[in-house]
Structure 1
Amino acid sequence: MRPEDTHGVGDPDPEEAEAALRRADALGVGGPELADRLDAAGSAYRRRFWDAGDLQDLHKAVGHYRRAARADPARRAVWTNETAVALTDLYDLTGDLGDLAAAREAAEEATDAAEEGSPQWARCAATLVLCLWNRYDATGALGDLEAAIEVGTRALGALPRTDAAWARVCSNVGMLHMDRYERLREDDDLQASVRLSREAVDAALEDDPELGGWWNNLGNALLTRFGAQFPDRALPRPGEHVDLTDVDAAVAAYETALRISRWKFAGRPTFLVNLGNARVDRAEALRLAGRREEAVAALREAVVPLTEAVSLTSRTAPYRASRLNVLGEARRALADETGAADEIDTARAAFREACGTGLDIAPEMTVGAADNWIRWATRRAAWEEVGEADGYLLRAARALHEAQAVRRHREAWLVASHGLAHEGAYALARLGRAEAAAVRLERGRAVLLSEELALVPALLDRLPRHFQDRYTAAVRRVQEALRDGG
């Protein structure tokens, strides 16, 4: 979770704050006094949004913070940063990249306006980190993730440990390391994630309204480390020793987050889906340990929070695809254990919706959902389903590849999706489409080949004209083959 700044519980409710603003406007109040009243109104609307989820409250908060920045230029960094934070709230619900772009622009403006290295600069930089992080989730561009880690680490160093924002920044930087670990598999990132997440929980005040978020993030780090104990970084194999310490601690952390969180809307879907995910992993470990009845019970327990999490997530939210994918995995596992047709139907529907939703707002999530769906459908010899899921995978993998600015990052995404080409090709072959299967096998390799071909023209001037013509013709043939392949 990426919790936001909060204000004191003594702030007025929105109606009281608006009444105070009207009185101030009638009296001609301006400058810092007006800005403070606008801030009180903005924070009241945001708090009500966290409790009820009404988008109009967020739009009103953004408007008040923008007006505060105009009224009080001396504190422009403060009010512009509040604007950026409210816009990230808005993006989390709408998935509108325009909201994210506006949030990043405001965060950059706030960071530039603050004195570099000061606590206020650190708070503004931490908001910029959220914007970079959200854009990484939206596009899969690892350059944004690495920039977020670099800026977040600098912001953490600029804050004293006693500052109220220190725990927030520390926990978020821990989650950034976890995201990079999951993509690049460097153990230092995993250990940093667990350490920073635990430090954030330990440093936070007991009455910190964001403490639920820090417990949630600690659960994320622990659950990731639970999976890392196995050679393939997935789940254990039958007969393999399983240490449940980290997964049990993760479940407890998520339950703590849900119990202490004061908000009915903001954060709750995140806590719910993470709790469900941890219970799914725990159920699989129990099953492989021969404790089948306990495993089935754990899966049924997992479906409850996962279903609630999806129901609380708007259809345009950037995390909907991920939450549907986890729900699909839980339903899939239940179907495998019970063989019930309704569990198969609900799992298939969850994977299909996850794949389709993720294409528009989170292609990385489409890759993960397609992976799960393809492997499950292959085991059931459901070749039409494999082909459908593989189609989603191809489109998502292409979007992710094109979003990368650095070759190492492009290769990382190709590695993530290339192995599944074999499943897709096999499904096509089983359906009697041998030629299409051969094309499917070649498409992953052809992406980097076409990229190499695109780099060479800068060197062509050194070659005789007839070699240039031959090269150009070859490039044209490759591009036509890729286009014809879909």
Structure 2
Amino acid sequence: MTPQGRGGSDARDPEETERALRQAEARGVGGAGLADLLDRSAAAHRRRFWNSGDTRDLHRAVDRYRRAVRADPARRAVWSNELAVSLTDLYDVTGTADDLAAARRAAEEATAAAEEGSPQWARCAATLVLCLWDLYDATGTLTDLNTAIDLGDRASAALPRTDRAWARVRSNVGMLRMDRYERLGAADDLHGAVRLAEEAVEGAHLDDPELSGWLNNLGNALLTRHGTQFPDGAAPRPGERIGLTDLDAAIAAYRRAIEVSQWKVAGRATFLSNLGNALTDRVEALRLGESPESGEPELREAVRALTEAVGLTPSTAPYRASRLNVLGEALRALSEETGSADDVDAARTALRQACASGLSVAPEMTVDAAHNWIRWAMRRSAWDEVDEADGHLLRAAEALHRAQSLRRHREAWLLASRGLAQEGAFALARQGRPEAAAVRLERGRAVLLSEELGLVPALLNRLPAPLRDRYSDAVRRVQEALRNAG
């Protein structure tokens, strides 16, 4: 997603803004004047965070905007929106649910305080879109994704094209539509994502500090469209030509994003990760096309970029699992080029870490990483690894199923893990564990059975309390009977 917020167009050194703030408070300055000084201080701290990655600056920015909301209630929409932006920055580092919940509350308050349909309302709504996007990433709840897309469309319609926020909103909605395409497969969402990302880049000024983020989003959309040529890694038919136009354009966009980036830490990690992923995909495309060209140089460049990206990503950040997953894929591809046992071990370690780190904050990333690990381990007949990865997959898939309130959304997540259950069962059988293999095949159906037994809180909570208690007791007794039956 593209960083947003006013970013402090007049942001100075944080210590300088702090001195000015203290002097004003000593003179008894309050109201709008104090809020403006708090804004300058917060903006300076946020800018320093982008350059250093020191979260203490983000905490200071959050504190200053909370104080601005109290000091200047007439501009509540402005200050609550800036508070929400700072809290989403903080969440991107900590992965703490409380930070995300606080960001969403602030964004909702800002949106409610603004005049609906006005540019200020659109900017506040755009921040709320980011909060819903983060919530979707954390839980996989497709309802949040659909709400974010609808709200983003309304926000962009309320902004004139000359407003810099217009391009930001268009770019972000494009990425949301790409997320929905990857889950539900509607081609209109993919083509819309590319179009929206292109519009944002074409309408940007060369000195716009957010240009790097829009270039990154364009690269993401182009990379996804490139991948539609060979779904599920299927080899091309004899004589079939693999087009590299979208892929090469994506790589160029990522390289340019890195060059013009002003988001020194958080942004650089994102752009490096995406560049590494695209370079890996290019080698895979050439390999599928049976090109005689060696992919080792590009893969080594990809591994360097991805290793730096993971190193820049805090251990608690929600995106860490995704970046480890991409690093694991690059190392896996490199091991197939070199045949090095060290590369195999490094790839296995990265995928294992991706699976583990995504379970609590990004279960969708755990599903993806487990998927990659299982397929690779199957090719190597590494049945113990298939079993280990399948365990991560099952825990993540069950968490994603439980998060959905609509059955069609639960079924969409079930499709993501259904086929892999067979591979997990096959691995168990190859290890001489036929009973465990049979149980693994039944676990997918058990997930749906658990839903029918009422393990969907969003639906269960609609029942009257006495009926809910009786129903929960009946479910508990049925589950206990099932466990006792083995």
Alignment TM class, shorter chain as reference? over 0.9
Deviation at 1:2, TM superposition (A): 2.7
What corresponds to 2:377 in structure 1? 377
CA 1:33/1:324 → structure 2, altered by over 3 Å: closer, same or farther? Answer: same
Task: Give the secondary structure class of the aligned counterpart of 2:295.
Answer: helix
Which runs of no fewer than 5 residues in structure 1 stay unpaired? 459-471
Q: Does 1:90 align with 2:93?
A: no
Report if aligned partners of 1:51, 1:264 keep a CA contact under 8 Å in 2: yes
**In the TM superposition, what whole-angstrom CA distance separates every residue of 1:230-268 from its partner, at most 9, and x where no partner exists?**
3x3546436442000000000000000000112321311
Report if aligned partners of 2:10, 2:40 keep a CA contact under 8 Å in 1: no
What letter matches 1:97 in structure 2? A
Report if aligned partners of 1:228, 1:234 keep a CA contact under 8 Å in 2: no
Report if aligned partners of 2:321, 2:355 keep a CA contact under 8 Å in 1: yes
**In the TM superposition, what whole-angstrom CA distance separates every residue of 1:184-219 from its partner, at most 9, and x where no partner exists?**
000000011000000001111211101000000000
Report if aligned partners of 2:30, 2:71 keep a CA contact under 8 Å in 1: yes
Report if aligned partners of 1:235, 1:281 keep a CA contact under 8 Å in 2: no
Report if aligned partners of 1:107, 1:125 keep a CA contact under 8 Å in 2: yes
Identity, in percent, stands at 68
Deviation at 1:9, TM superposition (A): 4.6
Superposition TM-score, scaled by structure 2 size:
0.93
Superposition TM-score, scaled by structure 1 size:
0.93
What corresponds to 1:45 in structure 2? 45
Q: Does 1:386 align with 2:408?
A: no
The 2-side partners of 1:153 and 1:482 are apart by 48
The 1-side partners of 2:100 and 2:189 are apart by 26
Report if aligned partners of 2:111, 2:125 keep a CA contact under 8 Å in 1: yes
Deviation at 1:477, TM superposition (A): 5.3
CA 1:69/1:289 → structure 2, altered by over 3 Å: closer, same or farther? Answer: same
Q: Does 1:201 align with 2:201?
A: yes
Q: Does 1:422 align with 2:425?
A: no
What corresponds to 1:70 in structure 2? 70
The 2-side partners of 1:85 and 1:279 are apart by 32
The 2-side partners of 1:351 and 1:68 are apart by 44
What corresponds to 1:59 in structure 2? 59
Task: Give the secondary structure class of the aligned counterpart of 1:419.
Answer: helix
**In the TM superposition, what whole-angstrom CA distance separates every residue of 1:106-153 from its partner, at most 9, and x where no partner exists?**
000111111111111111100100000001000111111001001111
Q: Does 1:336 align with 2:344?
A: no
Report if aligned partners of 2:11, 2:47 keep a CA contact under 8 Å in 1: no
Deviation at 1:448, TM superposition (A): 1.5
Task: Give the secondary structure class of the aligned counterpart of 1:209.
Answer: coil
Report if aligned partners of 1:149, 1:173 keep a CA contact under 8 Å in 2: yes
The 2-side partners of 1:233 and 1:221 are apart by 18
Task: Give the secondary structure class of the aligned counterpart of 2:330.
Answer: helix
What letter matches 2:451 in structure 1? E
**In the TM superposition, what whole-angstrom CA distance separates every residue of 1:74-102 from its partner, at most 9, and x where no partner exists?**
10110011000000000000000110000
Report if aligned partners of 2:173, 2:196 keep a CA contact under 8 Å in 1: yes
Deviation at 1:298, TM superposition (A): 1.6
Deviation at 1:10, TM superposition (A): 3.6
Deviation at 1:450, TM superposition (A): 3.5
Deviation at 1:454, TM superposition (A): 4.2
What letter matches 2:169 in structure 1? V
Q: Does 1:317 align with 2:294?
A: no
The 1-side partners of 2:270 and 2:21 are apart by 35
What corresponds to 1:146 in structure 2? 146
CA 1:484/1:335 → structure 2, altered by over 3 Å: closer, same or farther? Answer: farther
Deviation at 1:445, TM superposition (A): 1.7
What corresponds to 1:16 in structure 2? 16
Deviation at 1:72, TM superposition (A): 0.8
CA 1:201/1:346 → structure 2, altered by over 3 Å: closer, same or farther? Answer: same
Deviation at 1:67, TM superposition (A): 0.7
What corresponds to 1:237 in structure 2? 236
CA 1:24/1:235 → structure 2, altered by over 3 Å: closer, same or farther? Answer: farther
CA 1:418/1:19 → structure 2, altered by over 3 Å: closer, same or farther? Answer: same
The 1-side partners of 2:237 and 2:302 are apart by 22
Report if aligned partners of 1:90, 1:99 keep a CA contact under 8 Å in 2: yes
Report if aligned partners of 1:50, 1:265 keep a CA contact under 8 Å in 2: yes
What corresponds to 2:260 in structure 1? 260
What corresponds to 1:219 in structure 2? 219
**In the TM superposition, what whole-angstrom CA distance separates every residue of 1:295-327 from its partner, at most 9, and x where no partner exists?**
222211211111100000011000000000000
Which runs of no fewer than 5 residues in structure 2 stay unpaired? 461-472
The 1-side partners of 2:476 and 2:5 are apart by 52
Report if aligned partners of 2:129, 2:151 keep a CA contact under 8 Å in 1: yes
What letter matches 2:255 in structure 1? E
